[in-house]
Amino acid sequence: MADNPNQNQIDKLKKQFAKNKGSNGDGKKPGSPKKGGNKFNFYWIYIIVFALFIGMQIFTAMSFSTKNSTYQEFEQALELGDVDHVNILNDRKVQVFIKEESLRESERYDDVSKTNYSDAINPGPHYVFEMPSTTFEDRIKDYYEERGIKDRIPVNYQTQDNFLTDIISWVLPLVLMVAVWMFLMRRMSGGAGGGAGGGSQIFNIGKSRAKVFDKDTEVKTTFNDVAGMTGAKEEVLEVVDFLKNPKKYTDLGGRIPKGVMLSGPPGTGKTLLAKAVAGEAKVPFFSLSGSDFVEMFVGVGASRVRDLFKQAKEKSPCIIFIDEIDAIGRARGKNNFSGGNDERENTLNQLLTEMDGFGTNEHVIVMAATNRADILDRALMRAGRFDRIIYVDLPELTEREAIFGVHLKGIKTDDSVDVALLSKQTPGFSGADIANVCNEAALIAARKEKKVVGKQDFLDAVDRIVGGLEKKTKIITEAEKKVIAYHEAGHAATSWLLEHAAPLVKVTIVPRGRSLGAAWYLPEERQITTADQMLDEMCATMGGRAAEKVIFDKISTGALSDLEKVTKQARAMVTVYGLNDVLGNVTYYDSQGQNEYAMDKPYSEQTAETIDQEISKIIEKQYERAIEMLENNREKLDQLANLLLEKEVIFKENVEEIFGKRPWDKEEEKKEVTAEATADTPAEAPTSDEVKTEESTEDTNNVGVEEQTDTSTDVAAAKEE
C-alpha cells in the first residue's frame, strides 16, 4: 500500500502525456521548421554528365547506317563503278564510301542510302570491314593491274582516337584501386561495429554510432514491461514531462535538468528502464554504449561525442542514453602514470564540455547507466551535468512479486504456482535473475514433457541457478561421502542453534555444479547488520570445518569457500565498519574509489599487523565457538549426518525433529516460509551489506578460484580418511 501515491503520480503523468500527444507528439518545438529533409546529392551531377557523354557517343554511332562487309563485296561495288573513295583507319579498318548517284538510283544500296533518323542521303561510310592496310594495298594493286585500269579510286589514311576507350582504360584501374582500398579500410575500421552505418566507413569514422528511435520507429518496450522501481519510473516520467512541457517549469524560473544517472547492481533493470523511455516518450531517443566512442584512432571518441550532440541539437527536444558510461567516464589520472595523452580522457573531456554551459544544447537531456558509479569522475557527476542520480537497487519482496508477474505472462503455468511464495524464495535476486528463473523453469518442464509449468519446476529452477546442475553420476567413495555429510550437517546444526544465523531450508550431499554438497538458507532481508549478527553468521559458516574437527579430529581443504567468506566478513568488520574494539571507530573504506590505484596503503605497517591479528582472532574465536557447540550436541550431529547419508537430501522439518524448534524462530514463522524454499549457500549468500563489502575490499577474481578449489579439495580430503 505504500506505493499507491507513487503509482497515482505515474498514472497522472501518463494521462498528461496522452493529452500532449496530439499537439506536440512529433517531438518538435511548436512552430519549428522541419529538419533533416531530403537533401540534394551532388553525386547525381556526375552521374548525369557521364550518362550524357555515353549517350552522345552512342547516338553518334547509331545516327548513320554502316554495314559490315567483306573485301569480295567491295570488289563487286568496284566493278560496278559505284565506289567513290576509301578511308583506312588506324592501318586496319577499311571504310567504303559509295557514290551519291549510285545511292539514289541503285536498289542495291537501299539499306545504307539513308540515315537512321531521316530521309537524307547517308554521307557514309557505307560499308566497313577489317583488313591490314598492307594486305588491302596489295590486293587492290593486283586488281587494277589484272584489268589494266589506270583511273583508280582515292585511298585515304586516317588515325582516329577512341576517347571512351581511353577514358575507361585509365579510369577503370584507378576506380578499382580506390574501391579495394576503401573496402580494406572499412573492414579494418568498422570490424566490431559493422552495423553502425556511416560510422563504420573510413571517411565517416568520426560520426556517432547512436541508434535513433523517433516517432516513426516502433519500440515495443513500455513501462508496463518494467515492474518494481516505482520511484525510478516516476523520476524518468518527469524527465519526459520536462521535454513535453518545458514552459510549465521555466515559467517558474526552474531549469530543466541536463542529465540523469541510473546507478545500481547488474541486472536490476537500468537498460530496460531506458528502453521503456524510448517506447513511451514521443521525442527522439539516441541510444548507444560507452564503448561505441572508443576506437583505435586518436581523436575519434571526441569527434563522435561532438557529432552526437550536434545530431541531438538538430532533433531537440530529445534524450541521449549512454549505457555503461564507466567505459569513458572513469576518473582521470589513475592509469596515466607515464604522463602521456589518453584517448579515453580526451573523450571524457569532450563529453564534459558538451554537457557544460559552453555549448548548451537546449532541451537535450542525457541519461546514463552504470553499475560502477564509485569510479566515475567527480567532474562528470557534479550538479549541472548529471543533476539527478537515481539508484536502482535490488528488488524487495513486493517488487520481486511484481517482476515475477511480468515474466510469467508468457509462460503457461498451473494453479500450483504461487507468485508470492516464489518472491519469498528468491531474496537478493535481481530482475535478470528472476527472468532466468522463469525461463529455466519452462525448460525444465519441457524436458519432463509437461504441458504446463508447475510449482516444483520453479523450485528446481532456483536450485539449478543457485547450486548448479545435479551430478548424480559423479563417483564418490563411502569415505568421501561421510566427510561431506558431516561437513554439511555441521553447517545445518550450527545455523539452527544460532539466533542470528540464516534459517535453514534444505541440505544435500548430491554434487551440484562444482560443489560436492550444499546447504540452502533463507537470509533475512535487512538494511543494517549488527556485530552479533555477523559473528553468528561467521560461526555458522565455520560449522562445516568444526564438524570435521569434532568427528574425525582432522580438517580438510574442502572448506575453502567457507574460509574465504569468513575472512572477507572479518576484514570488513575491522577495516570497513569499525566493529573492532582494538582499532576503534575507524574505516579504511574508500566509497569514491579515489584510492583504487594508490601505491601505498591508507594505514601504517603497525596498523596492518594489528588488522591481521584482529582478523585472525575473530575467525578463530568463532571456530572454537562452533566446535564447542557441536561437541555439546554430538549425538544430534551424528543423527543428522546419518540421515543425510540415508536420504541425501533433508529439509527444515527433518532438522526440527532432531534439534527441536528454534526458540527465536517466531518472526520467520510469520513470514510463512515453506520447507521447499531455497536460497543461496552460506558461502555465497551474504547480506546486501556484505556483498558491498566484498566487492569493495577484495578482488572479485578470487570467486572462480574458490569454487574450483572447493570441488577438488573436498575429494582429496575425503581420500585422507
What's the residue count for the chain?
A: 721
- List all residues 6 or more positions away from 378 whose beta carbon is below 8 Å from its beta carbon: 331, 592
**What secondary structure does DSSP assign to 29-98, as a single string?**
-TTPPP-S-----THHHHHHHHHHHHHHHHHHHHHS--EE--HHHHHHHHHHT-EEEEEEETTTEEEEEE
Q: Of the listed 343, 401, 480, 488, which one is catalytic?
A: 488
Assess contact for 650 and 506: CB atoms under 8 A: yes
The span from the CA of 344 to the CA of 350, in Å, is 10
The DSSP output letter for 152 is P
The span from the CA of 445 to the CA of 416, in Å, is 14
At which residue does the C-alpha cell 584489268 appear? 147
| Residue among 408, 325, 395 at smallest CA distance from 367 | 325
Task: Report the side by side order of strands in the sheet with 67-68.
Answer: 67-68, 127-130, 93-98, 83-89, 155-158
At which residue does the C-alpha cell 563529453 appear? 351
The DSSP output letter for 209 is -
The span from the CA of 95 to the CA of 85, in Å, is 9
Assess contact for 384 and 357: CB atoms under 8 A: yes
Q: Maximum CA pair distance of the chain?
A: 144
At which residue does the C-alpha cell 565498519 appear? 577
Element (H, E) at 389: strand 388-391
Instruction: Name beta bridge partners: 68.
Output: 128
Residue 488 a catalytic site member: yes
What Cα–Cα distance (Å) separates residue 17 from each residue in 224, 259, 394? 15, 21, 29
Amino acid at 334: K
Assess contact for 567 and 692: CB atoms under 8 A: no
C-alpha dihedral (556, 559, 560, 565), degrees to nearest 10: -150
| Residue among 210, 325, 320, 311 at smallest CA distance from 259 | 320
The span from the CA of 563 to the CA of 538, in Å, is 9
Produce one character per residue of 329-351: b if its CB has 16 or more CB atoms within 10 Å, e if not.
Answer: bbbbeeeeeeeeeebbbbbbbbb
| Residue among 402, 399, 366, 362 at smallest CA distance from 381 | 366
A 10 A CB-CB count for 215 gives 14
Produce one character per residue of 396-411: b if its CB has 16 or more CB atoms within 10 Å, e if not.
Answer: eeebbbbbbebbbeeb
Q: Where are the alpha helices (DSSP H) in 196-337?
A: 230-244, 246-250, 270-280, 300-314, 326-329
How wide is the angle at C-alpha 604 spanned by C-alphas 598 and 334, nearest 5°?
5
The span from the CA of 11 to the CA of 668, in Å, is 36
Q: Which sequence positions are flagged as catalytic?
A: 488
